[in-house]
Amino acid sequence: MFPYQAEKYVREVFKPIPEGLYKVKIEKQKEIENNAKTAKGINISYKILDGEFAERLVFDSFYLDHPNKEFEKSERNRFNGLLEAVKLLSLSSVCEINARPLAIKVKIKKASSDGKFPECNKVADYFDYNYSENKDYSDIPF
């Protein structure tokens, strides 16, 4: 082990998972604040529960208190979608959503044109855990 001679470090890069619907559970959640201390929100990581990408994490953020009120409204709407998917109408603490199962629709966000940010996953929608895009609804009378 020692003496040890360092070699060139090769940074591991995770490629985004393919777009689609994934069954997940909320793995971690944390309250956040931007660097300027003008916005507050929540970071959430979801763990994929099954399939080829089981155990991979998908990350999401919601800025629920933001100086740009239109952006804040959009973020609150997305967070309401998450709460609806996990069947919670209100929260006293962000910890209340821990380990809750749900289904998320994942999209791929393109890399930035300046190359600073590689392509990554973005959570596009939130559904009840048992939701299926392939479910046959033809027996529902209208």
Please indicate, yes or no, if residue 77 is contained in any of the structural domains: yes
Q: What is the pLDDT of residue 16?
A: 95
User: What's the pLDDT band for 135 if we cut at 50, 70, 90?
Assistant: low
* 3 state SS of 53: coil
* Count of the separate structural domains present in the chain: 1
Cβ neighbours around 131 below 10 Å, total: 16
Mean pLDDT (the chain, rounded): 92
Q: How far apart are CA 142 and CA 137, in angstroms?
A: 11
- The tens digit of pLDDT for each residue in 16-29 reads 999 999 999 999 99
Q: Which domain holds residue 121?
A: 21-127
CB distance 86 to 23 below 8 Å: no
Please indicate, yes or no, if residue 120 is contained in any of the structural domains: yes
- The tens digit of pLDDT for each residue in 32-88 reads 999 999 999 999 999 999 999 999 999 999 999 999 999 999 999 999 999 999 999
Please indicate, yes or no, if residue 92 is contained in any of the structural domains: yes
